[in-house]
Chain A
Amino acid sequence: MDFGELIIECFSTLTINKMRTGLAILGIVIGIGSVIALISLGQASQKMVENQIQSLGSNLLTVQPGGQSNGAVRGAQGGGTTLTLDDAKAIQSSPTITSVKTISPEYSKRAQVIVGRNNTNTQIYGVYPTYAEIRKITLSSGVFISTRDVDAMSKVAVVGPQVVTDLFGEGANPVGKTIRIGVQSLKIIGVTTSKGGSGFNNQDDIIYVPLSTAQKQLFGASNLSSISIEAKSQEVMTQAQNEVGYLLLARHKFSDPTQADFSIMSQTDILNTASSVTGTFTTLLSGIAGISLLVGGIGIMNIMLVTVTERTREIGLRKALGAKQRVVILQFLFEAIILTFTGGIIGMILGILISFVLSSTMSLPFTISWPAILLAMGVSGIIGVLFGWYPAQKASRLQPIEALRYE
């Protein structure tokens, strides 16, 4: 009996017992599919967070005022008022700082914005024109804030698409229209392109105004909430961080860096923090995937054990009619391989399909995790083949009459 013959025999047995075959394949499909879908989803969300942070700008350092020290009590980061426009100008003009390309002083605060009967509470950013360059902001219509607007303290604003939707309705073109913040009226001169994002990190729900306008006309402040600094390259990030740090320490008259009333965070720091959060998330999902792999594996094991044990009589009959031990084992082994292979392929397609559907409905980037696929296929494949082969080889060793009488 040659291999071709044996494989034909396997297929005919599998197609004759459609229910049994179907159930075995279903078990394998679910085992493999769920693992692939879960891991892919975890990786997709991690990737989304990374993408969002990358889109904030590259080679970016952010200087934020530290909380004011009051004896041993330290206030919240970003809560101080010690960072000023003069600091920013000093960084810009200092001859000792060589690694900084562009700086952008910023003042931001939440405020109520009113247009006619509509109003919304959103983040107002007082910025320099350099902000658009550093933060990679592009406009879908109109222009961004210019140096002249800052110098002249112009009452102009650039709004995010979310603000447009909230105040003017979806798809409206608000350029030239007027919005009211407090007692001041500002003319809209541009709309930014959508960057996506959600929650308090929504970059589409922002209004940009000239820094001078924000400080003096809207909020009556003289400090900055942050200074964004773009380094000349990725390699000089640390150098830039040090140069700016020492300059500000000197300007703020601190000798001990641990006492500083400001902090400098790099994009990498933020990315690391975010990655560790999403990493935890992925670990959690991998844990769930691991459990489903285990459950799937046990399912496959069960169905294989049951079907082969159920067929002990058949094994006895085949032996009585002249099948050699090797032929019986090979038949069951091939059947197990065909089952796990078919189930594996369907499970893989299903898993990819599920992660595609889920990532498109949850607007996540669609990723295929090949290690997850390999892991799921490998584990289920080994379990399927092992537990198809093991009871078959046990049954094939019985005297045919014992196998025939098996209940």
Chain B
Amino acid sequence: MIQLKDISKIYKTEMVETVALSHVSFDIQKGEFTAIMGPSGSGKSTLMHILGALDLATSGEYILDGESVSKLSQDELADIRNRKIGFIFQAFNLLPRTTALKNVMLPMVYAGVSKEERLEKAKKYLEMVGLKDRMYHTSNQLSGGQQQRVAIARGLVMNPAILLADEPTGNIASAQAEEVMSLFRKLHEEGHTIIMITHEPDIAAHASRIIHVKDGVIIEDEINKKRKKANYQK
């Protein structure tokens, strides 16, 4: 499903070259729930941006769902992001002062989905994340956990190949973090491929596989055996 071959990312400013990722390679299979862990500055966010086609690698090849992403144009990348990737950001990134329903419909607007289908699907996914009675609330009327659930509904609504979450519990209270994590586990059980970036071991413990990153290289790639109710699927 996902293949990273020898991926490097180097940021160049006028004076300094910073190596954010150095020759990273790994595969992720369909249906895996992977956590990428590492301290800040380890290159895990850069890895997530490349996985999400939000940024291009300096060298190496990235194959997503059979398509090579490394050499695509801006607009082709936009299309990949739209169809194959569902994003969940740490800062939620919902449109401000806009209803939950409209936020969830946005990716479908860009995909050219008909109005009736958009409405129907957005309602379905909002119901799934438990926000049936909050559909017409604007983003600033929702709590952090609710906003994150709207973002999850938005990430899922295009039925993407992978769900990418960047510190999904970083901006919400711990009780709500549990709520979000149990939703992730439910999605995993339904067969979604999830990649989650986090620095909290508690959160990473929910995943079936944990990749540890430090200083731009993978230092450990383990199957999470300590996972409660472990039901690792290949």
Query: Which A residues form the contact surface with B (CB < 8 A)?
Result: 1, 5, 9, 12, 16-17, 313-314, 317-327, 397, 399-401, 404
In whole angstroms, what is the CA distance A250 to B163 when docked? 109
Q: In the complex, which residue of chain A has the Cβ closest to the Cβ of B154?
A: A321
Quick check: is B93 within 8 A (CB to CB) of the other chain?
yes
Q: 3 closest pairs, A vs B, by CB?
A: A322-B82, A322-B110, A401-B54
Point out which of A12, A322, A326 has the most chain B C-beta atoms below 10 A from its C-beta. Answer: A322
Q: In the complex, which residue of chain B has the Cβ closest to the Cβ of A12?
A: B102
Point out which of B78, B97, B106, B158 has the most chain A C-beta atoms below 10 A from its C-beta. Answer: B78
Quick check: is B62 within 8 A (CB to CB) of the other chain?
no
Chain B residues in 8 Å Cβ range of A314 = 95
B5 to chain A, nearest CB (A): 21
**Count of B interface residues, CB-CB < 8 Å:** 27
Q: In the complex, which residue of chain B has the Cβ closest to the Cβ of A9?
A: B109
Q: Mark B137-176, 1 if CB is under 8 A from A, else 0.
A: 0000000000000000010001000000000000000000
Interface of B, helix, strand, loop or mixed by DSSP: helix
**Is the beta-carbon distance between B98 and A16 smaller than 8 angstroms?**
yes
**Is the beta-carbon distance between A321 and B54 smaller than 8 angstroms?**
no
In whole angstroms, what is the CA distance A16 to B75 when docked? 28
In whole angstroms, what is the CA distance A320 to B155 when docked? 11
Chain B residues in 8 Å Cβ range of A317 = 93, 95
In whole angstroms, what is the CA distance A400 to B75 when docked? 11
**Is the beta-carbon distance between B106 and A401 smaller than 8 angstroms?**
no
In whole angstroms, what is the CA distance A104 to B55 when docked? 92
Point out which of A9, A17, A321, A324 has the most chain B C-beta atoms below 10 A from its C-beta. Answer: A321
B226 to chain A, nearest CB (A): 33
In whole angstroms, what is the CA distance A306 to B87 when docked? 28
Q: In the complex, which residue of chain B has the Cβ closest to the Cβ of A18?
A: B97
A320 to chain B, nearest CB (A): 6
Known: A16-B98, A17-B97. A321 touches B107 (CB 8 A): yes
**Is the beta-carbon distance between B98 and A399 smaller than 8 angstroms?**
no
In whole angstroms, what is the CA distance A334 to B81 when docked? 25
Point out which of A16, A17, A320, A327 has the most chain B C-beta atoms below 10 A from its C-beta. Answer: A320
Chain A residues in 8 Å Cβ range of B112 = 1
Q: Mark B43-74, 1 if CB is under 8 A from A, else 0.
A: 00000010010111000000000000000001
B47 to chain A, nearest CB (A): 12
Q: CB within 8 A of A320: which of B74, B75, B87, B97?
A: B87
Quick check: is B223 within 8 A (CB to CB) of the other chain?
no
**Is the beta-carbon distance between A323 and B110 smaller than 8 angstroms?**
yes
Within 8 A of A (CB), among B80-134: 81-83, 87, 89, 93, 95, 97-98, 102, 106-107, 109-112
Quick check: is B200 within 8 A (CB to CB) of the other chain?
no
Quick check: is B79 within 8 A (CB to CB) of the other chain?
yes
**Is the beta-carbon distance between A1 and B109 smaller than 8 angstroms?**
yes
Could you give 20 example pairs across A and B, Cβ below 8 Å?
A: A1-B110, A16-B98, A319-B78, A321-B82, A321-B106, A321-B154, A322-B78, A322-B79, A322-B81, A322-B107, A323-B110, A324-B78, A324-B110, A325-B75, A397-B74, A399-B56, A400-B54, A401-B54, A401-B55, A404-B93
Chain A residues in 8 Å Cβ range of B78 = 319, 322-325
Chain B residues in 8 Å Cβ range of A327 = 110
**Is the beta-carbon distance between B93 and A5 smaller than 8 angstroms?**
no
In whole angstroms, what is the CA distance A327 to B79 when docked? 12
Query: Which B residues form the contact surface with A (CB < 8 A)?
Result: 49, 52, 54-56, 74-75, 78-79, 81-83, 87, 89, 93, 95, 97-98, 102, 106-107, 109-112, 154, 158
A345 to chain B, nearest CB (A): 26
B37 to chain A, nearest CB (A): 20
In whole angstroms, what is the CA distance A9 to B106 when docked? 10
Chain A residues in 8 Å Cβ range of B49 = 401
In whole angstroms, what is the CA distance A110 to B54 when docked? 89
A204 to chain B, nearest CB (A): 62
Chain B residues in 8 Å Cβ range of A400 = 54-55, 81
Q: In the complex, which residue of chain B has the Cβ closest to the Cβ of A314?
A: B95
B196 to chain A, nearest CB (A): 17
Chain A residues in 8 Å Cβ range of B106 = 318, 321
Q: CB within 8 A of A5: which of B54, B74, B87, B109?
A: B109
Q: In the complex, which residue of chain A has the Cβ closest to the Cβ of B49?
A: A401
A402 to chain B, nearest CB (A): 8
A131 to chain B, nearest CB (A): 75
In whole angstroms, what is the CA distance A318 to B154 when docked? 12
Given A1-B112, A320-B93, 14 more A-B residue pairs with CB atoms under 8 Å apart are A9-B109, A12-B98, A12-B102, A16-B98, A318-B106, A320-B52, A322-B83, A322-B111, A322-B158, A324-B75, A324-B78, A324-B110, A325-B74, A326-B75
Chain A residues in 8 Å Cβ range of B83 = 322
Known: A321-B106, A322-B111. A399 touches B54 (CB 8 A): yes
In whole angstroms, what is the CA distance A229 to B56 when docked? 90
Chain B residues in 8 Å Cβ range of A324 = 74-75, 78-79, 110
In whole angstroms, what is the CA distance A322 to B89 when docked? 15
Chain A residues in 8 Å Cβ range of B154 = 321
**Is the beta-carbon distance between A16 and B97 smaller than 8 angstroms?**
yes
In whole angstroms, what is the CA distance A327 to B52 when docked? 20
In whole angstroms, what is the CA distance A319 to B52 when docked? 12
A40 to chain B, nearest CB (A): 39
Chain B residues in 8 Å Cβ range of A399 = 54-56
Chain B residues in 8 Å Cβ range of A17 = 97
In whole angstroms, what is the CA distance A397 to B79 when docked? 15
Q: In the complex, which residue of chain A has the Cβ closest to the Cβ of B52?
A: A320
Q: In the complex, which residue of chain A has the Cβ closest to the Cβ of B82?
A: A322
